[in-house]
């Protein structure tokens, strides 16, 4: 199986479920603590591009930091670069887990999506 990079927060139950599922499929994982070591602007730009998702899908909209900064109202006024810099500045703003093999990227954890992207046992 392939080596996957997983940007995750170890205390997050969704991240733990995703890691367990991926390990169950036989993947080798490189785990990166998203709060202690958030991805940089260029790394995020690549992840967004490879995911095929809109940048706003990378924001953890249910998180405390997102709410305390009032980003629901501010985000639409921010340009792409500003949004990427915001995400890179605080890993807790990033929806997790993010999984990447260098080409494909998934955000969050839904078993169906993972089976499609990372299955193959």
For 29-52, the pLDDT digits (tens) are 999 999 999 999 999 999 999 999
CB 50 within 8 A of CB 104: yes
64-113: pLDDT as tens digits: 999 999 999 999 999 999 999 999 999 999 999 999 999 999 999 999 99
Q: What is the pTM of this model?
A: 0.94
Output the pLDDT for position 75.
95
Quick check: 121 pLDDT over 90?
no
pLDDT for 1 equals 58
95's torsion region: left (phi>0), alpha (psi -120 to 50) or beta?
A: beta
Q: Which range has the worst mean pLDDT, 14-18, 25-29, 94-98, 117-121?
A: 117-121
- Confidence (pLDDT) at 2: 72
Determine the longest span between alpha carbons in the chain, in angstroms. Answer: 44
110-115's contacts with Cβ under 8 Å and 24+ in sequence apart are 111/21, 114/18, 114/21, 114/22
Q: CB of 36 within 8 A of CB of 62? A: no
Amino acid 84: pLDDT: 98
């Amino acid at each position: 199986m392939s080596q996957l990079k997983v940007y995750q927060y170890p205390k997050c139950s969704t991240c733990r479920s995703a890691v367990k599922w991926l390990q169950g499929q036989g993947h080798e994982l490189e785990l990166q603590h998203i709060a202690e070591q958030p991805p940089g602007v260029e790394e995020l730009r690549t992840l967004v591009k490879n995911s095929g998702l809109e940048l706003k899908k990378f924001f953890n909209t249910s998180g405390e930091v997102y709410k305390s900064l009032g980003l629901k109202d501010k985000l639409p006024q921010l340009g792409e670069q500003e949004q990427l810099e915001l995400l890179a500045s605080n890993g807790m703003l990033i929806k997790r887990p993010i999984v990447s093999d260098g080409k494909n990227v998934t955000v969050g954890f839904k078993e169906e999506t993972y089976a499609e992207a990372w299955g193959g046992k």
